[in-house]
Amino acid sequence: MIRKIKGQLSQWFGGRFDLEKLKEPIKHQIEKPLPENVGWFHTLGSMSLFLFVSQVLTGILLLVYYRPTVGEAFESVKFIMTKAYMGWLYRQIHAWGANLMVIIVFLHMLRTFVTGSFKKPRELTWIFGVFLFVFTLVFGFTGYLLPWNQLAYWATTVGTEVAGAIPGVGEFIKLLLRGGANVGAETLSRFFVIHVIILPWTVFFMVLIHLVLVRFQGIATLDPVDSKEETKSKREVPFFPHHVTKEGIVFFILLGVLVTLSILHPFELGEKADPLQTPHGIKPEWYFLPMYQVLKYFPKLIGIFIVSLAPLFLFIWPFVDRTKERHPLKRPISIAFGILVVLSLLIFGMMGYLSESKRQFFGKTYEFDIYGVPHEIAQANNHNS
């Protein structure tokens, strides 16, 4: 039956298009061999792609009931979570997907950094990648406000305030984002447009260019830049079925993780935004915590200068690390630098997470100040925040 339909389809299309011409390039792409160093870590790129597609699909479902107005946004998300058919599931998959996407895209970036894949001739693939990473974060920042709850409202107020402190252009950026003096109806519609129209299309085309570059230039080996071995690998792994099978396996694992987290640790909606009530200890999303924490230690301008250097460094990295070696063991300085950056992100992130909260460790209660420094408090006041 399937064979019959297949035959009829190819006859129908074959009578209208020269399918023979397409067969060869498609076969070439599918059978293209990959270098022997390609393993499980090389599935992080396709995992990022899978998460992006999942975000688009669940985002479309959310759009059916979501209303981007101050009066209706919170209630519409509540409706999705409690009444819409399977609404709770696709809202949770969307929320968890956003968080996982930040982690996976970051890990993919780390993988290409460690294996020196950003070096010649793949500098542009890296630069488009950095744009994709930044846009993934902006996706998170703009999406966070859309449920119009207290946490989101105040995190956006703080976030746009930080942008406002950039010398020269800050006030303009803040006004552009907020659409007025404060976060309000204008901000919600601006974030909505950025989140559901501007970013998805921009990321779509950027991913397309990124993937075309990857396909044209092939996956990097661990051999030095411009060496003969680079173009002719010793042992090769076929893209299909070897690598595609690995991608299929991680796809199902990721899907399982998304559904499990959605069921076991659902995101709460919290309370509706109230511009007149500032909650205690407002914090941005976890992936902005390292940056937010660094800003606390320095005077405003110096802090902004330091946190702006990070993305700038990422963009120009292929032109900074110009040695020919790709193998991580032969690039001790850049790998040490990478480890230092990852450790700083973890430490500052953790300090940001603990700051302005009370926690119990080994039976003692500590109050963490805004700098994340713990102060032990008397037993009589013991209770967790």
Size of the site for ligand HEM (CB under 6 A): 27
Residue from the set 44, 81, 194, 261 that interacts with ligand HEM by CB under 6 A? 44
Distances (CA, A) of 273 to 72, 75, 183: 12, 11, 11
Beta 364-368 vs 236-238: how paired, if at all? unpaired
Give the shortest CB-3-to-ligand HEM separation in angstroms. Answer: 32
Residue from the set 81, 130, 145, 354 that interacts with ligand HEM by CB under 6 A? 130
Amino acid at 158: V
Under rule CB under 6 A, residue 133 binds ligand HEM: yes
Q: How far apart are CA 12 and CA 10, in angstroms?
A: 5
Which of 42, 190 has the CB closer to ligand HEM?
A: 42
Under rule CB under 6 A, residue 220 binds ligand HEM: yes
Give the shortest CB-16-to-ligand HEM separation in angstroms. Answer: 32
Give the shortest CB-235-to-ligand HEM separation in angstroms. Answer: 16
Residue from the set 66, 90, 96, 126 that interacts with ligand HEM by CB under 6 A? 126
Distances (CA, A) of 271 to 119, 277, 279: 48, 11, 11
Give the shortest CB-159-to-ligand HEM separation in angstroms. Answer: 21
Under rule CB under 6 A, residue 46 binds ligand HEM: yes
Q: How far apart are CA 366 and CA 101, in angstroms?
A: 33
Which of 45, 59 has the CB closer to ligand HEM?
A: 45
Give the shortest CB-30-to-ligand HEM separation in angstroms. Answer: 15
Which of 109, 273 has the CB closer to ligand HEM?
A: 109
Give the shortest CB-349-to-ligand HEM separation in angstroms. Answer: 18
Which range binds ligand HEM by CB under 6 A, 87-95, 206-214, 282-290, 356-364?
A: 206-214
Under rule CB under 6 A, residue 306 binds ligand HEM: no
Show the beta-strand stretches assigned E in 193-352: 236-238
Tell me the H-state helices in 68-146.
73-82, 87-114, 123-145
Residue from the set 62, 145, 196, 207 that interacts with ligand HEM by CB under 6 A? 207
Distances (CA, A) of 13 to 17, 29, 147: 6, 21, 47
Residue from the set 56, 57, 166, 214 that interacts with ligand HEM by CB under 6 A? 214
Under rule CB under 6 A, residue 49 binds ligand HEM: yes
Residue from the set 61, 70, 95, 132 that interacts with ligand HEM by CB under 6 A? 132
- One character per residue 83-122, x = contact with ligand HEM (rule: CB under 6 A): ----------------------x--xx--x--x-xx---x
Radius of gyration of the chain (CA): 24
Q: At what angle do helices 73-82 and 87-114 cross, to 10 degrees?
A: 100
Q: E strand or H helix at 367, and its extent?
A: strand 364-368
Q: How far apart are CA 153 and CA 175, in angstroms?
A: 16
Which of 3, 322 has the CB closer to ligand HEM?
A: 322
Q: How far apart are CA 142 and CA 226, in angstroms?
A: 42
Q: Shortest CA distance to 220 belongs to which of 30, 35, 29? A: 35
Under rule CB under 6 A, residue 287 binds ligand HEM: no
Size of the chain, expressed as the number of residues it contains: 385
Under rule CB under 6 A, residue 129 binds ligand HEM: yes
- One character per residue 4-43, x = contact with ligand HEM (rule: CB under 6 A): --------------------------------------x-
Q: Shortest CA distance to 356 belongs to which of 289, 303, 274? A: 289
Q: DSSP letter for 243, please.
A: I
Q: How far apart are CA 75 and CA 78, in angstroms?
A: 5
Distances (CA, A) of 164 to 143, 158, 168, 182: 20, 10, 9, 12
Which of 48, 160 has the CB closer to ligand HEM?
A: 48
Q: DSSP letter for 219, please.
A: -
Binding footprint of ligand HEM on the chain (CB under 6 A): 42, 44-46, 48-49, 52, 105, 108-109, 112, 115, 117-118, 122, 125-126, 129-130, 132-133, 207, 210-211, 214, 219-220
